[in-house]
Each structure stands twice: as C-alpha cells, then as structure tokens.
Amino acid sequence: MKAVLASHNKKKMSEMRAILAGIDVEILSQADVGVDLEPEETGTTFEENARIKAKAIMEATGLPAIADDSGLMVDALDGAPGVYSARYGHEGLDDAGRWQLLLKNMEGQTNRACRYVSVICCAFPDGTELMARGECHGQVAEIPRGDGGFGYDPVFWLPELGKSMAELSPEEKNRISHRGKALGVFKEEWEKKRNGTDQ
Ligand code: IMP
C-alpha cells in the first residue's frame, strides 16, 4: 500500500514522515509521484482545508493522500492567525517576519495563551476519508528562542518544559506536538481501517 503526503512544506513533511514511521504503508512525496499541484486553501476551518488538499492530491494521483492543515491560535487575538497562519501579515513575509509581526501584535498583552492545532485528513480513492485532530497548548513568548522546528516555533513557549518549541529536539517536538497527537490518532484509525478491509 502506498500513500502520498499532500504538502510542499519540507519541514512539515519531515515531521510527518518521522511520526508516521512504523505504519504499514510506503509514504511518497508529491515530487516522488510527479504531482506539483498546490490546491488553494479556500476553507475557513482546518478540517475544510485538510480535506481540500487531501482530495485534490488523491484525485491527481489515484492514491490515498494524507494532508495536514495546521496553525497557531492565540486567545488574545480571537484565535488569529488560525487557518491563515501561513499567510499572516502581508505577502512576502517569511517565517521570522510572521512571528515578528505576531510579537508586535501581542505587545502589552498579559494573556499570552495560545495553541497549535493540526488536522490530518487522508482521502482514499473509494471516496472515504479519515480525519484526526491534535492540539498543543502553550504561550506566546516575549522573545524568540531556539532555531529548531519551523514557523512560529521560536515564539511558542512551553511553560512546563521551560523551553520554546524551537529548543526541542525533533523527537521531543514530535512527542508533544499537535502534529504528533493528530498523527497518533490517525495511525490508530488507519490500522483499524486496514484490519477491517483485510478481513
Ligand atoms: P498550512 O500549510 O496551511 O497548514 O500552514 C501551516 C502554518 O501554520 C505553517 O506555515 C506555520 O506558519 C504554522 N504552523 C503549523 N504547524 C506548525 C509547527 O509545528 N510549528 C510552527 N508553526 C507551525
């Protein structure tokens, strides 16, 4: 059995591959199957966008496609940047530009609670799908720390660890992250579906 990761984000894909290790499936990238498609994320929820990406790549390849739609939700900003995390601020900002904008928008805020959300959708050629969600709670840091991970990780503070997400090793991050949790649920659902199908 083969499945394609519906993503162009190399760091996200490397986390997904590491977390999915051990699952009974050959994981391919879009580059492996020669599909360059990058569907427009027109949904207003993580679930909608994960489904849009997974279905488009499944339809283009004829293989099950696994998509992650994820983002950072900040309580004091009414859940922003949320589904728009990858596009926060004006076009042309890189990851550092986006977290710098976030720190600016959080100036003077005492409520710094935030969470990462990841929704995994796997779309199958028979029209069925698997959906799983994971969350990781933290605080928006006052200053960036660390250079691991990607995206907002330098400013995602984990009070119980006394570290930012960017200060964790890849293994530590995958153990506690939104993506690790969502893919953990997804792996269980995948095995159940496979066992049901195989009977
Ligand atoms: P997507 O490709 O639309 O799902 O965009 C996800 C965006 O959310 C990324 O580009 C990051 O800005 C942010 N994000 C999601 N997961 C993480 C993470 O694990 N660390 C840091 N930022 C993340």
CA-proximal residue: ligand 1, atom 8 (nearest): 71
Please state the rounded mean pLDDT for residues 14-40: 95
Quote the pTM value.
0.96
Which numbered atom of ligand 1 lies nearest the CA of 50? 4
Active site residue 32: no
Q: What is the rounded CA–CA span in Å between residue 107 and residue 76?
A: 11
- The separation between the first and the last C-alpha atoms of the chain, rounded to the nearest angstrom, is 16
Dihedral angle sign, alpha carbons of residues 18, 9, 175, 68: negative
Q: What is the rounded CA–CA span in Å between residue 122 and residue 150?
A: 23
Catalytic residue among 69, 75, 147, 153: 69
pLDDT digits (tens, 9 = 90+) for 97-142: 999 999 999 999 999 999 999 999 999 999 999 999 999 999 999 9
Inter-residue contact 110 to 61 (CB < 8 Å): no
Inter-residue contact 69 to 134 (CB < 8 Å): no
pLDDT at 199 over 70: no
pLDDT, residue 198, reads 43
Contacts of 43 (CB under 8 A, 6+ apart): 49, 51, 52, 69, 83
Phi/psi for 39 (5° steps) reads -60, 145
pLDDT band at 91 (very low <50, low <70, confident <90, very high): confident
For strands 129-140 and 113-123, give the pairing: antiparallel
